[in-house]
Amino acid sequence: MKKLLVIILAVLLVCGGCSAEKELTKLTEVGFYLDTVITLTAYVEDSKVLKDALEECGRYERMLSRTVEGSDVWRINHANGEAVEVFDDTMEILLCARKISELSGGAFDVTIAPVSTLWDFTSGTAVLPDAEEIARAAELVDQTRMELDGNTVRLPAGMMIDLGGIAKGYIADRVKAYLEDCGVKHAILSFGGNIVGIGVKPDGKEWKVGIQDIDKKTGEYMLVARNTGGSTVTSGIYERGFDLDGVRYHHLLSAETGWPVQNELASVTIFSESSMEGDALSTAAFVLGTEEGLKLIESLDGIEAVLIARDRSVLYSSGAEAYMIK
Amino acid sequence: MKKTACIILTLILLAAAGLYTVTTPAGGRTTLAENTPAAGETAEHNHNAETAAAETGTEEPARTESGETKEQPFLVQITDDDPAIAYVLVRMPNPIGLLPLPTEGEYTRTIRQTKDDGTEQINVLHLTTNGFWMENANCEGQDCVNMGEVTLENREERVLWNMIICLPHQLSLELITREEALQMLGQ
């Protein structure tokens, strides 16, 4: 009898332990970094892992922000032509930025900062910068003049970089990897317009990602995409920007002219594995416009896109419809 | 002997049930409690809410002249007799408390934060039986006011899912079900 009780006790102990470990709760943590909001939602045992992941975001902000004194980007921009040693992360981003820039014929360019700093898209005031100043600043935009060597970066004096079009994607990828290393199997993470998933929901259902309705309030979707563990990034003219005299002035700037790109497109969504690539490609494809943008996407393996035009027509790359729910 | 075995088995079962409590991981299931010192000590909503409000620089609920009406306090616990089926979780950016969706009618709730320089950051939420939206805010950009309504139906596929966020005021609002709220609180 005693033996039987010991066996029952052992079984209960083992089962009890297992059940406790598998008890997952849907928890969310929110943080404000890099001028955007980061939301981490995951099925986890407790919120500590998500809090630690947010702290990682803070670390990346101190490394990659243009405005945080002492960050890699700040030091590059204030080096007056001298070489600056940077973290591996910064170099990885700059190398990816260079690759996307070359693939897109310069449509994506991280040396856009002399121009982008002249625009105010966030305060809600509709003021155009001085046209001559924009023209002068646009001459300083040319990533081919940025020297990348080992872990050092050299930028000609006067030029500046801004990783706003790519850093969020990189951080999204790193935070995802961090959570996966911590054993997280079900999560959906949002970094501004960058969404990355880990697996699917615990019940096997896919994550749903709304694609912003270009004519409606922020948050209202026009299309819904599925995410089963990849990256979904959208760049659109409805994001940061203002309307003046019937023209939409938005944050997707031409590296050539320094003015917001005015073409037939309203938004571009990229489906990819790497959110860093997706981030840069969404801007690049937007700047290139429908025809050239789609051509770029079709030339790349594992990348799909949804292009929404200002007239609300929707174009898909050859494999993109598989990502759509409605 | 059989009787003794039964008692022992019952005791073992009880102990096994206790395991779930004992092994509940440390490190933050009761998210709200970490930010509200009074949380967990009492289920008395008003007391906790006012403590939470004082901690975060929010104003205490406004009273009418009669002193009878006041703004909905933040909840940091959910009691069995609370009839709400869903709540708005308020973060600044750490969790402050829950605002219950009304079971009938609708109400507004003003959230005030005072910055170090004395300026006041104001957001006015509008809660209905089915969801909420940002009715008013004194922030730059007004993005939060333009985020539309979060409802129990659209919260899985909205662009920011169940959230409305005021970036300049570092305020985030999330529509969560009663079940999710109870899980989050570890209740």
Burial class of residue B100 in the structure, from the number of CB atoms within 10 Å of its CB (0-12 exposed, 13-18 middle, 19+ buried): buried
Chain B CB within 8 Å of residue A215 CB: no
- Give the integer Cα–Cα distance in Å for A48 and A115: 40
pLDDT in tens, B51-82: 344 344 444 444 444 444 578 999 999 999 99
Per-window interface: A 166-185 vs B, CB < 8 A = none
Per-window interface: A 39-68 vs B, CB < 8 A = 39, 41, 45-48, 51
Q: Among B159, B165, B171, B174, which would you mutate to test the A interface (most chain A Cβ atoms within 10 Å of its Cβ)? A: B159
**pLDDT higher for A60 or B9?**
A60
Answer yes or no: do B157 and A36 touch at CB < 8 A. Answer: no
pLDDT at position B74 is 94
Chain B CB within 8 Å of residue A23 CB: yes
> Residue B144: closest CA among chain A residues belongs to which residue?
A218
pLDDT at position A219 is 78
State CA A130 to chain mean position distance. 30
pLDDT at position B93 is 86
pTM value is 0.82
Query: What CATH number does the domain located at B2-185 have?
Result: 2.60.320.10
Interface of B with A (CB under 8 A): 1, 5, 8-9, 12-13, 15-16, 19-20, 23-29, 31, 91, 93, 140-143, 146-148, 150, 156-161, 163-165, 167, 170, 172, 174, 180, 183-184
> Residue A13: closest CA among chain B residues belongs to which residue?
B16
pLDDT at position A226 is 96
Q: Taking CB atoms and an 8 Å cutoff, what residues of chain B touch A1?
A: 1, 5
Question: How near does any CA of chain B get to the CA of A228, in Å?
Answer: 14
Answer yes or no: do A210 and B27 touch at CB < 8 A. Answer: no
Which candidate from B12, B24, B156 shows the least CB-CB separation from A8?
B12
DSSP codes of every residue in chain B: -HHHHHHHHHHHHHHHHHHHHHTSPSS-SSHHHHH-TTTTT---HHHHHHHHHHHHTPPPPPB-TTS--BPPPPBSS--TT---SEEEEEESSSEEEEEEPPSSS-EEEEEEEE-TTS-EEEEEEEE-SSEEEEEEE--SS-TTTTS--EETTTTTTSTTTTEEEETTTTEEEEEEEHHHHHHHHT-
Q: Which helix (H) or strand (E) holds A136?
A: helix A131-138
Q: Taking CB atoms and an 8 Å cutoff, what residues of chain B touch A23?
A: 20, 24
Q: Which residues of A289-307 are buried (b: 16+ CB within 10 A; e: fewer)?
A: bbebbbebbeebeebbbbb
Answer yes or no: do B172 and A17 touch at CB < 8 A. Answer: no
Q: Taking CB atoms and an 8 Å cutoff, what residues of chain B touch A193?
A: none
Q: How many CB pairs under 8 A join A and B?
A: 113
Chain B CB within 8 Å of residue A310 CB: no
Phi/psi for B5 (5° steps) reads: -60, -40
Answer yes or no: do B157 and A224 touch at CB < 8 A. Answer: yes
- Give the integer Cα–Cα distance in Å for B70 and B68: 7
Tens place of pLDDT per residue across chain A (326 aa): 566 555 555 554 444 444 444 678 999 999 999 889 999 999 999 899 999 999 999 999 999 999 999 999 999 999 999 999 999 999 999 999 999 999 999 999 999 999 999 999 988 789 999 999 999 999 999 999 999 999 999 999 999 999 999 999 999 999 999 999 999 999 999 998 899 999 999 999 999 999 999 988 777 899 999 999 999 999 999 888 899 999 999 999 999 999 999 999 999 999 999 999 999 999 999 999 999 999 999 999 999 999 999 999 999 999 999 999 98
pLDDT at position A1 is 55
Which candidate from B8, B28, B93 shows the least CB-CB separation from A46?
B28
Least confidently predicted of B65-69, B122-126, B138-142: B65-69
Which candidate from A41, A190, A219 shows the least CB-CB separation from B147?
A219
Chain B CB within 8 Å of residue A202 CB: no
Domain spans of chain B? 2-185
Cβ of A7: how many Cβ atoms within 10 Å? Answer: 10
Answer yes or no: do A210 and B13 touch at CB < 8 A. Answer: no
Question: How near does any CA of chain A get to the CA of B148, in Å?
Answer: 6
pLDDT at position B141 is 82
Using pLDDT thresholds of 50, 70 and 90, give the confidence band for residue B152.
very high
Q: Taking CB atoms and an 8 Å cutoff, what residues of chain A touch B184?
A: 25, 27
Question: How near does any CA of chain A get to the CA of B90, in Å?
Answer: 11
Q: Taking CB atoms and an 8 Å cutoff, what residues of chain A touch B20?
A: 16, 19-20, 23
Question: How near does any CA of chain A get to the CA of B159, in Å?
Answer: 4
Q: Which helix (H) or strand (E) holds A287?
A: helix A275-288
Mean pLDDT of chain B: 74
DSSP annotation of A206 = P
Positive or negative, the Cα torsion across B51, B52, B56, B57?
Answer: negative
